[in-house]
Amino acid sequence: MAQSRYILGISAYYHDSAAAIIKDSEIIAAAQEERFSRVKHDPRFPVNAINYCIEEAFIEASDIDAVVFYDHPILTYDRIIKNCATVGEHSYDTFNSATKSILGIKLWVEKHVKQTIGTVGKLGKVLFAGHHISHAASSFFPSPYNESAIVSVDGVGEWSTTTIAHGIDNDIKLLKEINYPNSLGLLYSAFTYYCGFKVNSGEYKLMGLAPYGKPIYVKHIYDNLIDVKQDGSYRLNMEYFGYLETNKTTNQKFHDLFGASPRQPESVITRKEMDIAASIQQVTEEIFIKIAQHARNSTGSSNLCLSGGVALNCVANGKLLREKIFDNIWIQPAAGDAGGALGACYVANHLYYKEKRSIPNGKNDKQHGSYLGPKYSDTEIEAFLDRNNYVYKKYAETDKNELLAKEIDKGKIVGFFAGRMEFGPRSLGARSIIGDPRNAEMQSKMNLKIKYRESFRPFAPAVLREDVNKYFDLDQDSPYMLIVAPVKETIRKQVDTNIEHNADDMIPIINQIRSELPAITHVDYSARIQTVHKDTNEKFYNLIDAFKQLTGCSVLVNTSFNVRGEPIVCTPKDAYLCFMRTDIDILVLENYILFKEDQPKFEEKENWQQKYELD
Amino acid sequence: MNRQLFQYHPTIGYKFISNLKTRIQHENGGYLVKTNEWGFRSEIEFNKEKKSDAKRILFFGDSFTAGDGVSNKFRFTDIVEQTLPGVEVFNFGLPGSGTDQQFLLYKEFGKDVECDLIVLVVLVENIRRIKSHYRYYYNEAGEKQIYQKPYFDFKDNIFQLFNTPVESQPLKMEDLPANEQEKVDTGGRFVMARSIVNALGLKEITQKFTKYQPVPEYNTANSPEWLVLKEIIKLWSEMAQAKFLVVPLPLYQFIEETSSPDNYRARFGELKSELNIEIFDPLNDLLAYTAEERRNFRHKTDVHPTNAGHKAIADSLSKKIAEML
Amino acid sequence: MNLTNAIDLKIRKIFEGVILTNSHENYLNIIINKNIDTYYEEPQNIQQTYFSFVDTGSVESFADYLNEFWMEKGFEGFVSMVDEMSELAFLLCSDSDTQSEDVSQFIYTMY
């Protein structure tokens, strides 16, 4: 019998470092380092994630065939040098720091791999996979398609910022690209910064803010900041951006264009930020759709695979879906840099080793619901609870779900920890906080007392796949919460239009009841949908089903199990800490249920509000 | 470390969590740990009745037997199994345990297991553990915590078990009475001096120059610790349902000849004649390797055996076991 | 001279030898041209864009690697200091055991 081939992929030193491992083309494990280190978006070499991946594969490190790193350090250095040469004398600080970062750290991946696992695998040296080919591979190879157009859009990787590729069988050909400094991702990040959110994490907030505003700056953006061709290709007017010379994305000319300095983080969000958010969101969507159309024309494919950070813009994804340019769209749930670790594995497997691909059936992907992280057995959980004298009761699956359904119906908020942890930024029912979407107070309670985050941010619905069309204008799978679709007209409610159009403060707008599921209905009647499937997450499915049996509603609010600035919980201990630090009422650790009021007095050992810096 | 390895056990203090599959990061790049349903590091499930003609050996010991620092398959117990045809090995090793806890573990899990040979591997340092009533342990978060442990002692001339059932929660040093604070095993002799010497990188040379004796408890036949250890071995050998072999496993100082093994060897020699039990001392076999090879029997900083160290122990032990079977 | 000073001096030297010497040219596509139909480009840097190895076996072999990298792409102007760059990389490597939690400010990503 032929020996299995194991490939370890590593993404590090960018943002959100991660590791992944595949065995004979099958994903065995993938995880972000932040989940273990408890440092949000941890960019460091992912020693813990690597250890976990090898643990899941349960092989000796010396059994790994190849170690692949996502990104080519010298190609990135080439970009830095040319950037600095273009800028001249003023670029010294940039050059100094970048040289230390690339020649001092990124170049020495092999050394870090050896230090971490004692070997670089049977290949004997680390393989460097390109940034965008890795993105493309991360979306095409696990997708259900044997042939597909592939679009990858992010901030920048080496030189590329946008690529169009064509995947057929076990091969990917890059067709077109747009290169640095022209970047749709960096454009969005510039507005993220300008609106007072943190670059690299606040983009999601900007997207959530957009529906509150009117897109009155769209023309302004097109006239001054970006020239877009009919085929979706674009070029930025660098006179308005700061990142060639400094570490700021915008410059004074940009600020002058919008008539003010950037909003201070955590200050009041005004109508202006809402309108700017709406405008850049519309521009992004328009360009994104044009790029997709061009990918369709270039490849002739009716399938599309998406990746890169911009593919996490689920509003744009939803619009793209409704444009019906493609018959089918598959989006890598870890579309950002973490997913590069998985993509790098596939680059090695199919492009370097030329491994054949088993023919997909067009329906089921190979992402395993993105439940690719660690799970904890009942014995491990019980050992943890006993060691700490925490009060719990063990339930049979059915009894547990009946109890939880009743408690959720009463307005209780549940920390739900079940099965393998998710890979990617979204919680999909393995490490989730859940509540009743019919409850009008749920959104503000969850935002302010559980997540400690901005009150405007919407929550996502997790809905049984077979019932999605009862509540939303969507009748397809959306298992990774990457598609936004409208809430059905039939369950919408009228709002006070006076408040809606005239309030400068967001709170009254947020508090309007917009549908029978107010907690998950965004201001524009949209929702970021997760369809829940019995074959990929039976436990979560059964819980929602129990809620449906009790209430007739087959939707639950699903938000990530963390507080603002904290990585999503990984271990039972992380979950317990988050449970005790917030107003979560009930903690579910697999089959064990803990009620807050039963727990021993909680002695906080660390200043977690300081530890988890606001994102 | 994102997983907890051990769970509370009222008699022994703790044991491995059952059915674990984990990987522990280590200076050698990491190693795999798999535990079975009974909660022992093993690739196979244990059962009381023999289901084949294979000769079954039960191994008891501490982290050296359990295999800290190496994957299950590279442990000397597993190599013995691979080396000797028709042999099945049950490894009951428990890291951090003393011979007292291993004896309790035998009574709890091992005494009803059908077998042909019981091997008690006494890392010679274990004598220090049996005098302690508490031990420091590091939890998976790297926090140092004091836990109670069971121990035996002669009280009113009766050999008795104390600290049972074991307290499940960690204790604070300041909450212990002064006389009990002295009974906390801090992990070796001269803790402070040792950390300074280690920090200066002078460990080997200092040990050789000072004729450092890591286990002075063996210096006389009447030391209280030796009397307790001897009594445990005596009771165990009497209770054993099969042939019984005691293997005093040397510390690296003895293997690398920076300390004299004479005293502990003398004690185990006396034991053999006094109790009429089988003792196998692997030190001579280990000393036959070159100095460089012997240095590679332990990790760079972790004193537990490397794959090579386990292999050397297994090669030595296999011969004796083959004889006894 | 301590290691930090030696590193900073080398970086300054490379900056002058490579960046300033070549700064008469624009290497980035930043001209907006309303008269063309597309800004898409054919993929460049094909070898590294898919997958490749980087030779960091020794100061000499890494210098050779850098030399070949830029010569192949037609950027002879960047190869004058590959020896210094390679030496610097090895110096930095010996000084790079600690990791920072900060994201490099030169590396932007979205979301």
How confident is the prediction for chain B on average, in pLDDT? 90
Structure tokens at C13: 């030297």
CB contact at 8 A, C41 and A163: no
Q: How far is C79 from chain A (nearest CA, A)?
A: 11
Size of interface A-B (CB pairs under 8 A): 68
Nearest-5° Cα angle at A351, A348 to A356: 100
User: Which chain A residues contact residue B307 at CB under 8 A?
Assistant: none
Q: Which of residues 188-247 of A touch C (CB under 8 A)?
A: 188-189, 199-201, 203-204, 227, 229-231, 233-238, 243-244, 247
Amino acid making up residue A386: D
Q: How far is CA B171 from the centre of its chain?
A: 24
Domain range summary for chain B, segments of one domain joined by +: 6-324
Give me the mean pLDDT over the A2-29 stretch: 94
Question: CATH code for A178-329?
Answer: 3.30.420.40
- Which chains are within 8 Å of A by 3+ CB pairs? B, C
- Tell me which H or E stretch contains A517: none
Q: How far is A382 from chain B (nearest CA, A)?
A: 9
A379 touches chain B (CB under 8 A): yes
Contacts of A410 (CB under 8 A, 6+ apart): none
**Residue C109's pLDDT band (cuts 50, 70, 90):** very low
Q: Do B17 and A52 touch (CB under 8 A)?
A: no
**Distance between CA A286 and CA A283 in Å, rounded?**
5
**Residue B2's pLDDT band (cuts 50, 70, 90):** confident
In a domain, C111, yes or no: no
Q: Do A383 and B169 touch (CB under 8 A)?
A: no
| Cα-Cα-Cα-Cα dihedral sign, residues A293, A298, A301, A305 | negative
**Residue A504's pLDDT band (cuts 50, 70, 90):** low
The CATH architecture that domain B6-324 belongs to is 3-Layer(aba) Sandwich (3.40)
Residue B32: the pLDDT is 97
How confident is the prediction for chain A on average, in pLDDT? 94
Residue A451: the pLDDT is 77
Give me the mean pLDDT over the A91-109 stretch: 92
Q: How far is CA A417 from the centre of its chain?
A: 19
A381 touches chain B (CB under 8 A): no
Give me the mean pLDDT over the A33-40 stretch: 95
Residue C110: the pLDDT is 26
Residue B211: the pLDDT is 61
Structure tokens at B182: 């002295």
Question: CATH code for A378-611?
Answer: 3.90.870.20
Across the interface, of C11, C28, C73, the residue whose CB is closest to A86 is C28
B168 touches chain A (CB under 8 A): yes
**Distance between CA A238 and CA A228 in Å, rounded?**
14
Sheet containing B243-249, strands listed edge to edge, beginning at the edge strand earlier in sequence? B87-91, B55-60, B117-123, B243-249, B278-279
- Tell me which H or E stretch contains A464: strand A460-464
Distance in Å from the first CA to the final CA of chain C: 42
> Where in the sequence is the domain holding C2, given as residue range(s)?
1-22+54-95
Domain range summary for chain A, segments of one domain joined by +: 6-145+330-367, 178-329, 378-611
Q: What is the pairing mode between strands A393-394 and A592-595?
A: antiparallel
CA distances from B91 to A147, B111, C65, C98 (A): 52, 14, 52, 39
CB contact at 8 A, A451 and A581: no
Least confident of A250-264, A287-301, A494-508, C75-89: A494-508
Structure tokens at B77: 């117990």
Q: Which one, of A293, A332, A465, lies nearest residue A474 by Cα?
A: A465
Across the interface, of A94, A103, A185, the residue whose CB is closest to C106 is A94
At which residue do the structure tokens 């006894």 appear? Answer: B324
**Distance between CA B13 and CA B104 in Å, rounded?**
10
- The tally of CA atoms less than 13 A away on the side-chain side of residue C55 is 12
How many other CB atoms sit within 10 Å of the CB of residue A591? 18
- Tell me which H or E stretch contains A20: strand A18-23
Least confident of A175-179, A469-473, B23-27, B140-144: B140-144
User: Which chain C residues contact residue A347 at CB under 8 A?
Assistant: 50-51
Q: How far is C75 from chain A (nearest CA, A)?
A: 10
Interface test with A, best of B19, B25, B148 (most A CBs within 10 A): B25
Q: Do B2 and A374 touch (CB under 8 A)?
A: yes
Check whether C102 has a pLDDT greater than 50: no
**Residue C4's pLDDT band (cuts 50, 70, 90):** confident
Smallest CA–CA distance from C47 into chain A, residue: A130
How many other CB atoms sit within 10 Å of the CB of residue A343? 34
ipTM for this prediction = 0.93
pLDDT tens by residue, A423-440: 999 999 999 999 999 999
**Residue C96's pLDDT band (cuts 50, 70, 90):** low
CB contact at 8 A, A594 and A391: yes
Residue B195: the pLDDT is 42
Identical fold, A178-329 and A378-611: no
- Tell me which H or E stretch contains A16: none
pLDDT tens by residue, A523-556: 999 999 999 999 999 999 999 999 999 999 999 9
The full DSSP string for A70-132 is ES-HHHHHHHHHHHHHHH-GGGHHHHHHHHHHHHHTGGGHHHHHHHHHS---TTSSPEEEPHH
Least confident of A108-117, B189-198, B210-219: B189-198
**Distance between CA A278 and CA B276 in Å, rounded?**
88
Q: Which one, of A388, A378, A576, lies nearest residue B145 by Cα?
A: A388
| DSSP symbol at A2 | P
pLDDT tens by residue, B250-262: 999 999 999 999 9
pLDDT tens by residue, B261-310: 999 999 999 999 999 899 999 999 999 999 999 999 999 989 999 999 99
Interface test with C, best of A78, A132, A294 (most C CBs within 10 A): A78
Q: Do A383 and B7 touch (CB under 8 A)?
A: yes
Q: Which one, of A538, A372, A416, A306, lies nearest residue A35 by Cα?
A: A372
* Alpha helices, H only, A324-440: 337-346, 378-387, 397-409
**pLDDT above 90 as % of chain A:** 85
Residue predicted with more confidence, B157 or A449: B157
Q: Which one, of A377, A379, A387, A388, lies nearest residue B14 by Cα?
A: A387
In a domain, C43, yes or no: no
Nearest-5° Cα angle at A509, A265 to A204: 45
Check whether A500 has a pLDDT greater than 80: no
Q: How far is B32 from chain A (nearest CA, A)?
A: 7
Across the interface, of C28, C100, C110, the residue whose CB is closest to A83 is C28
| Cα-Cα-Cα-Cα dihedral sign, residues A152, A368, A110, A97 | positive
- Tell me which H or E stretch contains A585: none
| Rg of chain A on CA atoms, in Å | 24
Q: Which one, of B6, B29, B4, lies nearest residue B306 by Cα?
A: B29
Structure tokens at A513: 């009841």
**Residue B187's pLDDT band (cuts 50, 70, 90):** low
Phi-psi region of B96 (alpha: psi -120 to 50; beta: other; left: phi over 0): left
Check whether C107 has a pLDDT greater than 50: no
Q: Do B21 and A119 touch (CB under 8 A)?
A: no
CA torsion A287→A152→A329→A524, rounded to 10°?
-50
Interface test with A, best of B18, B21, B23 (most A CBs within 10 A): B23
Contacts of A504 (CB under 8 A, 6+ apart): A270, A271
Across the interface, of A132, A235, A347, the residue whose CB is closest to C39 is A235
At which residue do the structure tokens 């297994």 appear? Answer: B314
CA distances from B306 to A435, A590, B41, B296, B297 (A): 51, 37, 17, 7, 5
Interface test with A, best of B4, B20, B34 (most A CBs within 10 A): B4
Give me the mean pLDDT over the B230-258 stretch: 96
Interface test with A, best of B1, B3, B41, B147 (most A CBs within 10 A): B3
C27 touches chain A (CB under 8 A): yes
Residue C104: the pLDDT is 39
CB contact at 8 A, A57 and A9: no
Residue C73 sits at φ, ψ, to 5 deg, of -90, 0
Q: Which one, of A464, A461, A463, lies nearest residue A521 by Cα?
A: A461
Residue A607: the pLDDT is 76
Domain A6-145+330-367, CATH among 3.90.1300.10, 3.20.20.70, 1.10.10.10, 3.30.420.40: 3.30.420.40
Q: Which one, of A152, A126, A127, lies nearest residue A138 by Cα?
A: A152
**Residue A48's pLDDT band (cuts 50, 70, 90):** very high
Q: How far is B20 from chain A (nearest CA, A)?
A: 8
Q: How far is CA C108 from the centre of its chain?
A: 17
Residue B244 sits at φ, ψ, to 5 deg, of -130, 130
Helices A397-409 and A538-551, packing angle to 10 deg: 50
Q: Do B3 and A383 touch (CB under 8 A)?
A: no
Residue predicted with more confidence, B194 or A1: A1
Q: Do A44 and C51 touch (CB under 8 A)?
A: no
A606 touches chain B (CB under 8 A): no
CB contact at 8 A, B104 and B150: yes
**Distance between CA C82 and CA B23 in Å, rounded?**
42
For chain C, what is the domain count? 1
CB contact at 8 A, A461 and A520: yes
**Distance between CA A480 and CA A330 in Å, rounded?**
10
Residue A452: the pLDDT is 79
How confident is the prediction for chain C on average, in pLDDT? 84
Maximum C-alpha span of chain A: 72
Smallest CA–CA distance from A190 into chain C, residue: C110
**Residue A15's pLDDT band (cuts 50, 70, 90):** confident
Q: Is the peptide bond before B250 cis (omega within 30 degrees of 0)?
A: no
Characterize A108-141 residue by residue with b for buried, 16 or more Cβ atoms within 10 angstroms of its Cβ, and e for exposed: bbbbbbbebbbbbbebebbbbbbbbbbbbbbbbb
Residue C100: the pLDDT is 52
Amino acid making up residue C97: D
Q: Do A58 and B6 touch (CB under 8 A)?
A: no
Distance in Å from the first CA to the final CA of chain B: 40
Residue B141: the pLDDT is 66
Task: Please indicate whether chains B and A are in contact, defined as at least 3 beta carbon pairs under 8 Å.
Answer: yes
CB contact at 8 A, B163 and B135: no
Q: Do C101 and A44 touch (CB under 8 A)?
A: yes
| DSSP symbol at A446 | I
At which residue do the structure tokens 């674009």 appear? Answer: A234
CB contact at 8 A, A385 and A592: yes
Residue B208: the pLDDT is 54
